[in-house]
Every structure is written in C-alpha cells, then in structure tokens.
Amino acid sequence: MPTSSERADRAALPQFLAEHTPFQAATSDELTALADGAAIETFPADVVVADYASRVPDAVWMVRDGLVTLRASGDGALIDVVGPGGIFGYLPLLSGAGMDFRATTSAPSTLIRLPGALVQQQFAKPSGLAFLAASGWNRAAERATIAPATDARPVAELVHGDVLLVEPGETVRDVVIEMTGHHVSYALIRLPDGGLGIFTDRDLRTRVVAAGRSVDVPIASVMSAPARTVTSDLTADSVLMEMLECGLRHMPVLTPRGEVLGVLEDADLLAASARQSFLLRRSIAQADDAAQLREVGRQVTGTAVDLFRSGTKAVATSAILSVVVDSLVRRALEIVVAQAERQPPDGFAWLTLGSVARREAMPSSDVDSAVSWRDDLDAHAGLFRHTAAAVHELLAQAGLPTDRNGATADKPKFSRSQSEWRTAAQGWLAEPLQGRGLMFSSLLIDGRVVWGDPGLHTVPSAYHRIREQYPEALRLQLLDALSGRMRTRSLRDVLSRRGGTFDLKNHAVTPIVNLARWGGLMAGVTSAATPTRLSAAAQAGALTERDARTLTEVFTMLQRMRMAHQVEQITAGRPPGDIVASSELSPLDRSQLGDGLREIAAVRRRVGTVGLSGR
C-alpha cells in the first residue's frame, strides 16, 4: 500500500502540473486525467532514466525535485539541464523518431512519468505552442557545438542553417508551426518598406499567450519591428556583448547590401557549458522565496568558473557574470518587496554601480548600489532605505557581498529623489573638490538602472555637456585619473621573483578604468564598458587611436590574468581576490604584466602632457 507521504504527493500532483508549462492552460479535468495516468518514481544520482537513441518514447518525464542532465549519446556533449518543473522526452515523442541523447540524473531525483497521448493534447494549445517555440526547436543533439567566441572571427562564419522568412499576413499559428518545423525560436518578417520585423518565442509568450490573444491574428500585429540587426563583418565578441547589453537572444546578420545572411542565437556564440549561465538566470527568475534565491545564488561564482574554464574569454565571462548578477539583484528586490510588511510604493529605480554596472564583474566583485525615486515620494525615503538594506542582506546570504566601502542604497548619500540627485550632480560639477564630489560622480556616472524607470537616474544627463559647460570639472577628472600611483616597487619585486605581491585591480586595472571614464566624458559618454569608453575617447580626440588600442589590449590582458587568478583561488577553496604573489605568476604572465604597466605609464604621461596643457 502507498504510504501517507506517497498519497500526499499524488494528491498534490494536479496543482504541481498546473504551475508549470505546458500545463498551465490545462482544465481541471485534464489535470486530473494527467495525474491519474502518471507514475511517480525516485532515482539516485548518476542513473540513466531514458536513452532516446534506442526507441521512440510513449511518455514524457517531468522533474518533481532534483536535476536531470541531457547529453549527446555519442560524445557526451551537454544539451540541457532540467530542474524542478521541467520536462524532457517530448521531442522524440512529437516527432515519432529516436534522437541521439540520453537523460541522466545529476542528483537524487523524484520524476513524474506522464502519459504521452495526454501530454500531446496540451501542445495543440497556445501555451503548448509557446513552449515548443521556446524550447522544442533546440534539438541541440543535432547541432554542432559552436566554440566560444575566443577570437575576432566575423559573425558571418558562425551563422548556419536556412533563414525562416514569413509574410506579414501569416497567422501566429502558422508561423509557430513553421518555427517548430525549422527547429528555430524566431521568424523574420519582411516588411513592405524592405525592413525586417522579428517574432520570437518571447513575443509568443508575452504578446500572445500572456495577453490572451488568438493565435490566428496576423504575425505583423505581434512582431517586434524594426528588428535590431548587425552586419556580417562584426566580430563575434562585439555581437555577443551587444546581445547581452540588450537582453537579446536573436540577432539577424545582414550583408553590407542588406541581404539576410542568417540569424545568430545566443547558443551560436557560447559553448554548451556556457548555456549554464542562461539556465541559471531562468532558475533565478523562478525562485519563489528568499530560501530558493539563496540556494540558486550560491551557484553564481561556480558558473563564472565553468565559463572561463570552458574557453570563454575573460571579458565575455565578466559580461555574462554581470548579467547573472543583475538577474539576482532584480529577483532579490522583487522578493523583498513582495514579502515586506510595508511595501514601498512604485516609482523608484535601483541602480547598480561599479564593475557590475560596467559589465566587468569578477568573482570577487561586491555589490554597489543606489536608489532614486520620484520627487513626490520623499516621505517614503526611510522605507526605500529599509528595503535596500533587506535586499543587500538577502544578496549577501546568496553569495554576493555588500560593498565594503558603504556605497549602498541603504545609505542617505546613495538614496535620494531624482531632483536631489540632479542637484547633487550639478554641485559635483560646480565644486568637484567639495564633499568628495569626484568620488561620487565617478560612481554615479558608471551607474546603470537594473530595476525601475531608467528616467529616474538623473545624474548622467548633467554630464553630457561637461566638456563645454564645466571644463574645470573635466580637468579635475583627468587629474584624478592620473594621480593614482602605480606600485612600481612591489611590481619590481614580483617581476624579479623576490617574493613581493601586487594588486592587479587597484594598481593596474583601476588606472585604465579611470582614464577611460575621463575619455568617455570627453566624448559625451557616461555609463559604458571600459573598452567602449576608450573607443569613444579616440573618436573624440581625447586619446590617439594607438593609445586607445593599447589600453584596451592591456585591459583585456589584465582581466584575463585576474580571472585566471581568481578561478585558481576558488578551485583551491580560497576566497577570490586580486593580490598576486611572484610565485603564482608564470614567466609569460610576469613579462606581460611588466610590459602592460609600462604601456599604461607611457599613455598616462602622454595624456597628461597634452590634456593638462590645454592643447
């Protein structure tokens, strides 16, 4: 006889199914039928649940708790990781053909075996179509794993497969069927003016299913237009960064003449192991409470380690890590607000500061933050700060420490109304040496809104015309960028292997970051990544092309060195940091570090000679 625990699990099964796609649109009778036909089975870790190369299944598996890994049967390449609420085995069921992958438990797991015929009925509904468009296309076992973007290959070399182009008048239903048949999660729409629209799995979920619209409406009424595109000569690195910045998973690639060459998807720019970061972001978004978020958050550092070890460049790893941290911050804020006894009113924005804001996070990075709210909400200042303190407490428990210098949104200096921020910025410009204005301006210029109305971040607008309106403030920015001493003595000890130590961040990376920030302001650019600022500075004449290129190359080298050093520390069970000893550097790294510091010093001398002379 079943135990009381087993009876409780089965009684709760209809509700569990209703909470997860593709069963969220199922009727109560359909959920009952699915539950009655289901079998609940438990498996230890490292057990093969199903091998789909050998047969066509008659059932679909759903994970109740635990973790199941899908890998190619031949070379064992990672295809997907399925967590609680996820399903697998539906692709070979729907296609009626075997597929070359197997499912193995990665941890002790409880799985639900659902009757295939009843599951198939759910895929005929809009929510089922949305699920297929989002994940049914990803027949990763049939796709070659694209190497991570470790070089400057043009994206023309990475696009593959036929492009799905549809007409504006086609229905959503027909387009989704075409998407599923082509195994893609997008469709391009050729517009009458020659431009392109795009319809993705995300549009299907948000603009059709969630909005309650019929799947028989024209695709033109729910597409995104115009579609953001790139040209085929751009490098994989630059396109990946743009996709991360914009939160895009699809990027149409055009020839110089505007012809569609193909569509890049995030998996084309990332190795299979790098897909863990996107799976992690999904787990973060699905965390229901603080306990779940703490558990998921502790995987963030390990994801960065796996990315870097898989061959993803340090700059790309940092950008992806920053995106994951953004997701964790947003979800922490949502959970804190939802569970608070007194909820703060709508009308505030959360800003990320520092390296995460620049998309340059390292495993050692802490969380800097600020809050800005509408002017009519000043009476709630204390509540906003209390909320910020609770968010940072939850983030710290999830493995993201709070800024050690106190640059956090629970402090009055970092939590103000939009007008107070604007007034403060104007004060920093007029009197940069008063009230640590240079320090505050540097932090807030880097700031990036990750939750709330971006218009509430009023500091950057004050700095867009700093070159014309506040030349003395800009001059002081340059003096500050050039004033930081480079620890040449400790560097000499490291290079000569006399047992010294060197701080890679403070004494090598920070001088480049500060100089790039000044160069960006010369070009009217506020929040941006360091290489982007350097490029803008060269275009504005603040730096020569050669100096901008040199600093970018040295910055990239230093970020690689920092990431490698911190990954080694984490692997050894030590907290990550930027202090390196001579014994930890290879002869090549010591040589590159010495050359890089000399290049930084030479650029600083040249910039100081020209910039401070007023020429």
Domains of the chain: 4-122 (2.60.120.10), 155-264 (3.10.580.10), 272-462 (3.30.460.10), 476-611 (1.20.120)
Ranges of the chain whose pLDDT falls below 70: 1-8, 74-79, 94-98, 124, 126-153, 161, 237-238, 241, 244-247, 266-279, 282, 484-499, 611-615
**pLDDT tens-place string over residues 406-442:** 899 999 999 999 999 999 999 999 888 888 888 899 8
Residue 249: burial class (beta carbons within 10 Å; 0-12, 13-18, 19+) = middle
pLDDT value, residue 134: 54
β-partners of residue 253 are 230, 262
Cβ 391 vs Cβ 291: under 8 Å = no
CA 347 from chain centre, in angstroms, equals 25
Cα-based distances in Å from 596 to 276, 358, 511, 533, 602? 33, 21, 12, 19, 10
Cβ 53 vs Cβ 123: under 8 Å = no
Quote the longest CA-to-CA distance of the chain. 89
Neighbours of 58 (CB within 10 A): 11
Residue 26: CB partners within 8 Å, gap ≥ 6? 17, 18, 34, 122
Give the per-residue SS3 of 77-107: CEEEEECCCCEECHHHHHHCCCCCEEEEECC
β-partners of residue 146 are none
**pLDDT tens-place string over residues 378-411:** 999 999 999 999 999 999 999 999 988 889 999 9
Cβ 329 vs Cβ 291: under 8 Å = no
pLDDT value, residue 120: 81
Whether the CA torsion 54, 56, 61, 67 is positive or negative: it is positive
Strands 448-451 and 348-353: antiparallel
Query: Which 3 state secondary structure label does DSSP give 142?
Result: helix
Q: Which of 32, 228, 443 is nearest to 23 (CA)?
A: 32
Cβ 197 vs Cβ 220: under 8 Å = yes
CA 537 from chain centre, in angstroms, equals 26
Q: Which of 254, 194, 266, 257 is nearest to 228 (CA)?
A: 254
Distance, in Å, from the CA atom of 537 to the CA atom of 534, rounded to the nearest integer, reads 5
Distance, in Å, from the CA atom of 600 to the CA atom of 556, rounded to the nearest integer, reads 13
Tokens of 132: 């297929």
pLDDT value, residue 363: 95
Tokens of 244: 């991360």
pLDDT value, residue 560: 93
β-partners of residue 265 are 250
Tally of CA atoms within 13 A in the half-sphere of 57 that contains its CB: 26
Residue 200: burial class (beta carbons within 10 Å; 0-12, 13-18, 19+) = buried
Query: Which 3 state secondary structure label does DSSP give 449?
Result: strand
Residue 422: burial class (beta carbons within 10 Å; 0-12, 13-18, 19+) = middle
CA torsion angle for 382, 388, 389, 391 (degrees, to 10)? 150
Distance, in Å, from the CA atom of 8 to the CA atom of 369, rounded to the nearest integer, reads 44
Residue 220: CB partners within 8 Å, gap ≥ 6? 168, 169, 189, 197
Cβ 270 vs Cβ 251: under 8 Å = no
Cβ 88 vs Cβ 70: under 8 Å = yes
pTM: 0.67
Beta strands in 423-479 (DSSP E): 448-451
Tokens of 52: 């789909």
Helix H segments across 464-586? Answer: 466-469, 471-483, 488-495, 504, 510-522, 530-539, 545-571
Cα-based distances in Å from 388 to 54, 131, 229, 343, 396? 54, 35, 37, 12, 12
Residue 507: CB partners within 8 Å, gap ≥ 6? 486, 487, 490, 491
Strands 39-43 and 109-115: antiparallel
pLDDT value, residue 305: 87
CA torsion angle for 50, 54, 59, 65 (degrees, to 10)? 10
